[in-house]
Structure 1
Amino acid sequence: MPNIDPNFVFPVLIGDIGGTNARFAILVDSYAEPKEFPVLLTKDFATLEDAIQTVVLDHTSIQPRSAVIAIAGPVEGDEIPLTNCQWVVKPRQMMERFNLQDITVLNDFEAQALAVVSLDDHHLENIGGAAAHPNGKRVVLGPGTGLGVAGLIRSRQTWVPVPGEGGHVDFGPRSERDLQIFPFIEKIDGRVSAEQLLCGRGLQHIYKAICQADGVKPSLVTPAEITDAALDKSNAQAVETLELFVIYLGRLAGDLALIFMAHGGVYLSGGIPQRIISALRTGSFRAAFEDKAPHQLILKSIPVYVITHPLAAIAGLSAYARTPARFDIHTDGRRWR
Structure 2
Amino acid sequence: MASPPKTKPFAFPVIFGDIGGTNARFALLEDEGAALRSFPPVHTGDFESIEEAVKAAVFEKTETRPKSALFALAAPIDGDEVDLTNADWVIKPREVMAATGIADIALLNDFEAQALAVSAVGEETEMTTVTIGPEIALERNCRVVLGPGTGLGVAGLVYAAGLWIPVPGEGGHVALGPVSEEEFALWPHIEKEGGRISAEALLAGRGIVRLYRAMASLRGRRATLHWPKEVTGAALAASDETAVETMALYCRLLGRLAGDLALVFMATGGVFVGGGIAPRIATLLEAGAFRQAFEEKYPHENLMRTIPTRLITASRPALTGLAAFARRPEEFAVPLHTRRWQA
- Classify the TM-score, shorter chain: over 0.9
Q: In the comparison of the two structures, how many residue pairs are matched?
A: 337
**Aligned counterparts of 1:105 and 1:329: Cα–Cα separation in 2:** 11
Give secondary structure in 1 for the equivalent of 2:33: coil
Q: Does 1:11 align with 2:13?
A: yes
Task: Return closer, same or farther for 1:142/1:214 CA change in 2, 3 Å cut-off.
Answer: same
Deviation at residue 256 of structure 1 after TM alignment? 0.5
CA deviations 1:38-74 (Å, max 9, x no partner) are 1234344443333323222222222222110112232
Give secondary structure in 1 for the equivalent of 2:277: helix
Give secondary structure in 2 for the equivalent of 1:59: coil
Query: 1:112 maps to what in 2?
Result: 114
Aligned pair partner of 2:257 in 252, 260, 265:
252
Report if aligned partners of 2:7, 2:333 keep a CA contact under 8 Å in 1: no
Task: Return closer, same or farther for 1:208/1:48 CA change in 2, 3 Å cut-off.
Answer: farther
Give secondary structure in 2 for the equivalent of 1:131: coil
Report if aligned partners of 1:130, 1:300 keep a CA contact under 8 Å in 2: no
Report if aligned partners of 2:116, 2:325 keep a CA contact under 8 Å in 1: yes
- TM-score, structure 1 normalization: 0.92
Equivalent residues in 2 for 1:106-255, closer than 5 Å: 106-120=108-122, 123-129=128-134, 131-132=136-137, 134-255=139-260
Moved more, 47-56 or 189-198: 47-56
Moved more, 54-63 or 181-190: 181-190
Consecutive unaligned residues of structure 2, counting only runs of 5 or more, are none
CA deviations 1:277-298 (Å, max 9, x no partner) are 1111111111111111111111
Task: Return closer, same or farther for 1:202/1:88 CA change in 2, 3 Å cut-off.
Answer: farther
Task: Return closer, same or farther for 1:319/1:227 CA change in 2, 3 Å cut-off.
Answer: same
Task: Return closer, same or farther for 1:303/1:119 CA change in 2, 3 Å cut-off.
Answer: closer
Q: Does 1:75 align with 2:40?
A: no
Deviation at residue 33 of structure 1 after TM alignment? 1.2
Q: Does 1:287 align with 2:289?
A: no
Query: 1:310 maps to what in 2?
Result: 315
**Aligned counterparts of 1:128 and 1:61: Cα–Cα separation in 2:** 45
Moved more, 187-196 or 174-183: 174-183
CA deviations 1:8-37 (Å, max 9, x no partner) are 122211011234432110111212112211
**Aligned counterparts of 2:96 and 2:206: Cα–Cα separation in 1:** 32
Q: Does 1:62 align with 2:64?
A: yes
Aligned pair partner of 1:271 in 258, 271, 276:
276
Query: 1:47 maps to what in 2?
Result: 49
Moved more, 78-87 or 166-175: 78-87
Task: Return closer, same or farther for 1:174/1:225 CA change in 2, 3 Å cut-off.
Answer: same
**Aligned counterparts of 2:85 and 2:327: Cα–Cα separation in 1:** 28
- TM-score, structure 2 normalization: 0.91
Consecutive unaligned residues of structure 1, counting only runs of 5 or more, are none
Task: Return closer, same or farther for 1:187/1:95 CA change in 2, 3 Å cut-off.
Answer: farther
Task: Return closer, same or farther for 1:233/1:52 CA change in 2, 3 Å cut-off.
Answer: same
CA deviations 1:175-197 (Å, max 9, x no partner) are 33323333343333212211111
Report if aligned partners of 1:69, 1:105 keep a CA contact under 8 Å in 2: yes
Give secondary structure in 2 for the equivalent of 1:216: coil
Report if aligned partners of 1:143, 1:273 keep a CA contact under 8 Å in 2: yes
**Aligned counterparts of 2:129 and 2:264: Cα–Cα separation in 1:** 22
**Aligned counterparts of 2:205 and 2:20: Cα–Cα separation in 1:** 13
Give the aligned residue type for 1:237: T
Report if aligned partners of 2:133, 2:288 keep a CA contact under 8 Å in 1: no
Give secondary structure in 2 for the equivalent of 1:159: strand
CA deviations 1:205-246 (Å, max 9, x no partner) are 212222333343432232222211110011122112211110
Give the aligned residue type for 2:63: S
Report if aligned partners of 2:6, 2:333 keep a CA contact under 8 Å in 1: no
**Aligned counterparts of 2:269 and 2:168: Cα–Cα separation in 1:** 17
Task: Return closer, same or farther for 1:171/1:109 CA change in 2, 3 Å cut-off.
Answer: same
Give secondary structure in 2 for the equivalent of 1:97: helix
